[in-house]
């Protein structure tokens, strides 16, 4: 009993001293609608602190005084830090909106006119301006296949071929 209590205390202490900074980006090709559907999951507190660096107004994603302001901040920040090329052509994702699920903010985007997703090039510096131990994990689905890749700061570029 005492041994398991000591192990628990050590584990809890390490977690407090070395928190994880992870974001997850899911990109799925929707053949029927000819779109690339993008969801970006970021821990809300990390995202608020990052957005606050670029704003004079208070950034409160969970209880926004002005939701349109938060939408604009999220759209601008994510589009400035997540650059995609689909089949060799730069893509400009359209912001759909966001929602809070537990401790995370989920932001949704879409790229129209994607009849086929053969190649996806990614340049992602999401939250690199917040934390040097940031990890961005990508899950990309196309043609019934799913591929994943982890970008550890400072690495920001990867590609997926289908």
d(Cα 102, Cα 44) in Å, to the nearest integer? 9
| pLDDT, position 17 | 46
d(Cα 137, Cα 20) in Å, to the nearest integer? 13
The pLDDT tens digits along the chain (162 residues) read 554 554 554 444 444 444 778 999 999 999 999 999 999 999 999 999 999 999 999 999 999 999 999 999 999 999 999 999 999 999 999 999 999 999 999 999 999 999 999 999 999 999 999 889 999 999 999 999 999 999 999 999 999 999
Residues 6+ apart with CB under 8 A from 70: 59, 60, 61, 64, 98
- Among residues 31, 15, 24, 14, the alpha carbon closest in space to that of 47 is found at 24
Burial 34-73 (b: 16+ CB within 10 A, else e): ebbbbbbbbbbebbbebbeeeeeeebebeeeeeeeebbeb
d(Cα 116, Cα 138) in Å, to the nearest integer? 19
| pLDDT, position 147 | 98
Residue with tokens 């920001």: 156
Judging by DSSP bridges, how do beta strands 145-152 and 119-124 pair with one another? Answer: unpaired
101-58-93 Cα angle (round to 5): 55
| pLDDT, position 20 | 75
């Amino acid at each position: 009993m005492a041994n398991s209590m000591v192990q628990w205390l050590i584990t809890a202490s390490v977690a407090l001293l070395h928190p994880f900074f992870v974001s997850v980006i899911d990109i799925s090709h929707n053949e029927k609608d000819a779109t690339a559907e993008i969801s970006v999951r970021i821990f809300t507190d990390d995202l608020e602190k990052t957005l606050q660096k670029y704003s004079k107004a208070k950034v409160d994603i969970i209880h926004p005084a002005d939701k349109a302001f938060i939408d604009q901040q999220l759209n601008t920040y994510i589009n400035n830090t997540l650059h995609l090329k689909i089949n060799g052509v730069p893509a400009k994702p359209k912001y759909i909106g966001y929602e809070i699920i537990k401790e995370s903010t989920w932001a949704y985007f879409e790229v129209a006119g994607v009849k086929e997703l053969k190649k996806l090039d990614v340049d992602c510096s999401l939250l690199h301006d917040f934390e040097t131990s940031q990890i961005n994990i990508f899950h990309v689905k196309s043609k019934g296949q799913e591929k994943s890749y982890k970008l550890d700061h400072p690495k920001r570029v990867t590609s997926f071929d289908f």
